[in-house]
């Protein structure tokens, strides 16, 4: 009888560990794809900024202004984000992954302008600062027992407010207004990092509760979208920090 109880206990622990590994694997995949996206964007940005022949496609050499291709590279990532969000259920995993990789590369191309405007030392410093802030908030979001979901609507309103303010400032062209907005941007996306990490932790827990029975492709697609949300959080923290502290050439 005791042997049967011991066997049942060992089997329960084994099943629990197996199930727990599903959530951990999901979370690991999210950060893996985020790292891939950051790496692709970084490589694309550095390559474009250091290759005059490629920059000539983005900037009109006669006028010094952005070319039509430059504008496409600048705004195409936004369209790809909308495509991934709207087509999550319709796109296959392979298609979604392809769009995600294309988005990462095109974002890097658009970020190459940053390397032309700001000094290398300030870019590296702000990138390191963004990584530190992101890492701290990711840990906080994963470990805190406070329910951050109640702040989701407030943070989304903040993001929409930033977008509207940015559009308005395109016409005002106020450097002071842009400077103030950058502080709000850092604060909003710093908080969003913790919020998104906790949200992803809950998604992983939901997959775990289902015993990992969700379709493999669906789980992989959720990991891609999770990586996208964290990538955007990190990228915005970095850009807003650069606007505040970046030294121009």
**pLDDT higher than 60, residue 8:** no
**CA-to-CA distance for 26 and 22, rounded, in angstroms?**
6
The average pLDDT across 192-201 equals 95
The token pair that represents 15 in the structure block: 């099943």
Question: What is the DSSP code string of 125-191?
Answer: HHHHHHHHHHHHHHHHHHH--S--GGGHHHHHHHHHHHHHHHHHHHHH--HHHHHHHHHHHHHHHHH
The average pLDDT across 67-86 equals 85
pTM listed for this prediction? 0.86
- The SS3 of residue 205 is helix
The average pLDDT across 22-42 equals 92
**pLDDT higher than 60, residue 169:** yes
pLDDT of residue 211: 58
**CA-to-CA distance for 169 and 178, rounded, in angstroms?**
7
**pLDDT higher than 80, residue 223:** yes
pLDDT of residue 6: 46
**pLDDT higher than 90, residue 54:** no
What value does the mean pLDDT of the chain take?
86
pLDDT of residue 23: 76
Task: Check residues 20 and 135 and name the one with the higher pLDDT.
Answer: 135
pLDDT of residue 20: 58
The average pLDDT across 112-140 equals 93
The average pLDDT across 111-121 equals 90
- The SS3 of residue 119 is coil
pLDDT of residue 212: 53
**CA-to-CA distance for 216 and 210, rounded, in angstroms?**
13
pLDDT of residue 195: 96
**CA-to-CA distance for 221 and 164, rounded, in angstroms?**
30
**pLDDT higher than 70, residue 78:** yes
Task: Check residues 16 and 229 and name the one with the higher pLDDT.
Answer: 229
Convert 151-183 to b/e letters by CB count within 10 Å (16 or more is b).
eeeebeebeeebeebeeeeeeeeeeeebeebbe
Q: How confident is the model at residue 85 (pLDDT cuts 50, 70, 90)?
A: confident
The tens digit of pLDDT for each residue in 92-110 reads 999 999 999 999 999 999 9
Q: How confident is the model at residue 193 (pLDDT cuts 50, 70, 90)?
A: very high
pLDDT of residue 1: 47
Task: Check residues 182 and 58 and name the one with the higher pLDDT.
Answer: 182
């Amino acid at each position: 009888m005791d042997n049967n109880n011991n066997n049942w206990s060992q089997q329960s622990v084994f099943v629990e560990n197996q199930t727990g590994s599903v959530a951990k694997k999901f979370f690991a995949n999210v950060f893996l794809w985020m790292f891939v996206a950051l790496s692709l964007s970084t490589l694309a940005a550095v390559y474009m900024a250091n290759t005059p022949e490629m920059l000539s496609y983005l900037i009109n050499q006669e006028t010094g202004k952005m070319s039509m291709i430059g504008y496409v590279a600048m705004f195409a990532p936004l369209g790809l984000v909308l495509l991934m969000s709207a087509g999550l259920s319709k796109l296959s995993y392979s298609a979604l992954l392809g769009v995600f990789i294309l988005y990462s590369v095109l974002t890097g191309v658009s970020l190459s302008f940053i390397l032309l405007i700001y000094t290398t030392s300030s870019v590296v410093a702000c990138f390191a600062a963004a990584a530190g802030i992101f890492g701290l908030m990711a840990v906080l979001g994963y470990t805190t027992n406070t329910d951050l979901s109640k702040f989701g609507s407030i943070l989304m309103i903040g993001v929409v407010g930033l977008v509207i303010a940015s559009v308005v400032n395109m016409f005002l062209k106020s450097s002071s207004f842009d400077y103030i907005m950058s502080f709000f941007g850092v604060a909003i996306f710093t908080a969003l990092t913790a919020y998104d990490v906790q949200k992803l932790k809950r998604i992983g827990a939901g997959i775990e509760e289902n015993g990992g029975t969700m379709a493999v492709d669906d789980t992989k697609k959720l990991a891609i979208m999770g990586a996208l949300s964290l990538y955007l959080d990190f990228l915005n923290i970095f850009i807003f920090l650069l606007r505040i502290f970046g030294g121009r050439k």
